Amino acid sequence: MKKIWWIINGVWLVLFSGLAIFIYFREVDAAGVVQTSELKWLSLALLGVVLLLFAIVQLIFLFFLKKLKS
């Protein structure tokens, strides 16, 4: 079960890294707004908050996995 937990975390890491690279290098977003440095950093900060929420949920799952094993 713990192996699956690590695989899922690896998938999340690749997904968030890919999204961060995409956000940083895009010139225009889906609405047609030109992305300035401030907007890119704001988008990256929002992605970081989402990553933090997922990390908290993953740590809670890890806590329960360790509790079930012992």
Q: What is the pLDDT of residues 8-25, one digit of tens each?
A: 889 989 999 999 999 999
Q: Indicate whether 28 pLDDT > 70.
A: yes
Whole-angstrom Cα distance, residue 34 to residue 5? 38
Whole-angstrom Cα distance, residue 70 to residue 65? 9
Whole-angstrom Cα distance, residue 54 to residue 60? 10
In this structure, are residues 44 and 20 in contact, taking their beta carbons and an 8 Å threshold? yes
Whole-angstrom Cα distance, residue 48 to residue 29? 18
Look at residue 70 in the predicted model and tell me its pLDDT.
65
Locate 45 and state its tokens.
């900060």
